[in-house]
Amino acid sequence: MLIATWNVNSIRTRLDQVIKWMEEVKPDLLCLQETKVDDTLFPKEAIESKGFQVFFHGQKAYNGVALISPHELDDVRMGFIGELPSDTEAIRLGEQKRVISALLDGIRVVNVYVPNGSEVGSPKYIYKLEWLNCLNRYLEAPRKRDEPICLLGDFNIALEARDIHNPKRLTGGIMASEKERLGLKSVLGENMQDVFRVFENETNHWSWWDYRSGAWDRDSGWRIDHIYLCETLVMQARSCLIHKSIRGNQKPSDHAPVSVDINWPPSEDLDYVDGHY
């Protein structure tokens, strides 16, 4: 089972690259962020004509998330109020289209685009912390249903120094502040693990390179696109890859795709090594 995440920074601009990547890599599910288009204008037919299912939850100009799969997806849920009681907070934080989830072969895949946060202490930063708190509440529902959870997307947070090209300069700032990190850790709890770190301990693995300042040419990036797996799934993980070469495309997104290969449904023939099969 191959599940992937990719912040495409506009689905309409990146449509050909997305279809090409689906056909070459053949993921069972691709989760997109920053589709940047209202649902009425989403390029649904172009994707369906290639033999894929597509579900989207978007808005004009900003944000927007989508799911693309060659398989049937079950129980697709859009936004926070797909899972949360429709209280004032869930409605307010659901105005920006940043969450979509579905069941894929029994796995609850939750695709998120965490707010950017602008600047530490700014109103957008407060919003980011509130949003993470709401995500935490949101995840209680699939947990209560005992669904194995795969939480993935663009988190706009680097949890550790090794996830930043220049930790001395950037730690404490936006995407690397204590409150953001605590907010995300609280969402993850004891059970969810960053599957990339199951297989790779070194720094210099990035998923986002700023368009500005020649960040790609200097390989100055951040690892802010993550795949978190519950204990049941992480035990079956075979590999987790950052598809770095995609950032070198003509007219690239500023993010590269990240994928995880999971032995799912689990087979019995794997050796248990180092905390995973």
Partner DNA sequence: ATGCCGTATTACATACGA
Residues 83-142 that bind DNA (CB under 7 A): 115-119, 124
8/25 Cα distance (integer angstroms): 16
Residues 34-53 that bind DNA (CB under 7 A): 34, 36-38
274/263 Cα distance (integer angstroms): 16
Q: Is 22 helix (H, G, I), strand (E, B) or coil?
A: helix
Q: Binding to DNA by residue 154, rule CB under 7 A?
A: yes
Residues 192-231 that bind DNA (CB under 7 A): 208, 210-214, 222, 224
Which residues carry out catalysis? 113, 154
Strands 74-78 and 99-104: antiparallel
Please state the φ and ψ torsions of residue 203, each to the nearest 5 degrees. Answer: -80, -170
Q: Binding to DNA by residue 57, rule CB under 7 A?
A: no
225/207 Cα distance (integer angstroms): 6
| Options 5-13, 82-90, 131-139, 260-268: segment touching DNA (CB under 7 A) | 5-13
149/185 Cα distance (integer angstroms): 16
Is the Cβ of residue 80 or residue 206 nearer to DNA in the bound state? Answer: 206
Q: Binding to DNA by residue 165, rule CB under 7 A?
A: no
Is the Cβ of residue 213 or residue 245 nearer to DNA in the bound state? Answer: 213
Q: Where are the alpha helices (DSSP H) in 26-122?
A: 44-48, 88-94
Q: Which residues are near DNA by CB under 7 A?
A: 7, 9-10, 12-13, 34, 36-38, 60-62, 115-119, 124, 154, 156, 173-175, 208, 210-214, 222, 224, 251, 254
